[in-house]
Amino acid sequence: MILGSEGALTLTIKMRVSPEPSSSQALLGLMRRYREALNYAVKALIENKALSLGKAHRLLYDTLKERYGLPSKVAQDCYREAIAIAKSWLNNPGRGNLPRAMAPRIWLTNKYSYRVRDGYVELLGGYKLRIIGWDKIYDVYPNGDARLLFKDGKFILGISKRVPKPAKYVARGVLAVDVNEKHIVVGNSQHEHRFETAVERALHYKQLAERLQKKYSFPKYNAWLRRKGIKKRISRFHSKAKRIIEDWAKKTSHEIVALAKRHQYAVAREDLTGLVNNLRKLPKEHKMGLIILSYRRLEHWIDWQCEKNGVPIIVVEPRGTSTTCPKCGSKLVENIYRRLRCPRCGLEADRDTVAVMNIEKKALEKMGGSLTTPTAPQMTDVAPNRCGEPMNP
């Protein structure tokens, strides 16, 4: 997550940790109670509009301690985390159902609830967990709050860190990113590279979930809800689909930003807020949901990777990027499927190529000068599945 723009980034450093066998069950029990308490707290805070620390404390503190058996400090951490979750859910215009924590977990306030020492994490309450492996490059920066999760049989500790933002270089050109349903097209007036989206792969799991759900639902009552095993399988398929999109977005954004960095290009992307809002108005079906999710996650990870790597990022207005001639500005006409032609200057290109060239042009204008020259470096090493058309007018 990117927090603040004044020269610092908040990163989460993840590490696998392992509790001592004698205390493992007790810790897991606490984390399970914490999860239930957190879900209860988020709901209560939203229903009662209690988003300040004082209100949350009065509303929840006793219940969290008595009903969920949380120690005092843990109860405080719990409503703190619940406030953060409730606020971010309320601030999200496209919010769906109430957020729910699935995995057993616990939130840990820096210095009060945990500390890291000699290869161990010590938690309030006497738990000691051995650190199995972590990324040491951020060790010089102080630890912030942390979250311990239990997932797929493993304890994972995520520690947040404030690290200085790397300075951005002066770009020698632009790498434009255009998205459509099937592809992410990346390039500029000389080069083009396409990435497949993960929508079809993820859709497969959505369909499996749906099939299962249909099979076990009856008109009068949801029988599938009563069968814990079935319900679990359905929710596994849904999370699998989500995870496919998230992994894809992370990996693709990483490749795009690494490519830009190697060539000292700025990354330019369209502002997709309008597009996403328009897509949202369409009938809710799985495929559209996955497309929207892909766009939003890719946007998020591209921006994040750019900040982390010191790559300049430029966001341009999407208006007209796939209908205007990037050479002379005339309105393009459709020749055959997805191929466009300019009636004035004769340019002929694929719709995606046109979009990439227009995004590049808009970004260059925003950067306040023309940076591209015919001698710009060739990106021959980066287009294994290049399928763009040559762009000679």
Enumerate binding residues for Zn ion (CB under 5 A): 325, 327-328, 330, 342, 344-345, 347
DSSP 98-147: PP---S-EEEE-BTTTEEEETTEEEETTS-EEEEEE--GGGTTSPEEEEE
Considering the complex, what minimum distance in angstroms separates the CB of residue 391 from Zn ion? 12
Considering the complex, what minimum distance in angstroms separates the CB of residue 363 from Zn ion? 19
Residue 268 has φ and ψ, to the nearest 5°, of -120, 130
- Of 6, 14, 13, the closest CA to residue 307 belongs to 6
Based on CB atoms, which residue is closest to Zn ion, 74 or 347? 347
Considering the complex, what minimum distance in angstroms separates the CB of residue 374 from Zn ion? 19
- Of 71, 156, 78, 142, the closest CA to residue 111 belongs to 142
Considering the complex, what minimum distance in angstroms separates the CB of residue 364 from Zn ion? 17
Based on CB atoms, which residue is closest to Zn ion, 25 or 330? 330
Considering the complex, what minimum distance in angstroms separates the CB of residue 344 from Zn ion? 5
Written as six digits, the tokens of 43 are 């709901």
Considering the complex, what minimum distance in angstroms separates the CB of residue 332 from Zn ion? 8
Based on CB atoms, which residue is closest to Zn ion, 13 or 325? 325
H or E element in which residue 309 lies: helix 286-309
Question: How many whole angstroms from its chain centre is CA 26?
Answer: 33
With beta carbons less than 8 A apart as the criterion, state whether 344 and 328 touch.
yes
Token pair 């023309």: residue: 370
DSSP 351-381: HHHHHHHHHHHHHHHHHTS----TTPPP-GG
Based on CB atoms, which residue is closest to Zn ion, 149 or 342? 342
Based on CB atoms, which residue is closest to Zn ion, 78 or 325? 325
Based on CB atoms, which residue is closest to Zn ion, 296 or 339? 339
With beta carbons less than 8 A apart as the criterion, state whether 309 and 261 touch.
yes
Tell me the HSE value of 67 on the side-chain side, using a 13 A CA sphere.
11
CA distance readout (Å), 180 to 188, 278, 292, 338, 383? 17, 14, 11, 12, 19
Based on CB atoms, which residue is closest to Zn ion, 318 or 326? 326
Considering the complex, what minimum distance in angstroms separates the CB of residue 392 from Zn ion? 13
Written as six digits, the tokens of 281 are 């108005």
Based on CB atoms, which residue is closest to Zn ion, 53 or 328? 328
Considering the complex, what minimum distance in angstroms separates the CB of residue 331 from Zn ion? 9
Q: Phi-psi bin for 355: left (phi > 0), alpha (psi -120 to 50), beta? A: alpha
Considering the complex, what minimum distance in angstroms separates the CB of residue 393 from Zn ion? 8
Buried b (16+ CB within 10 A) or exposed e, 236-256: ebbebbbebbbebbbebbbbb
Based on CB atoms, which residue is closest to Zn ion, 278 or 330? 330
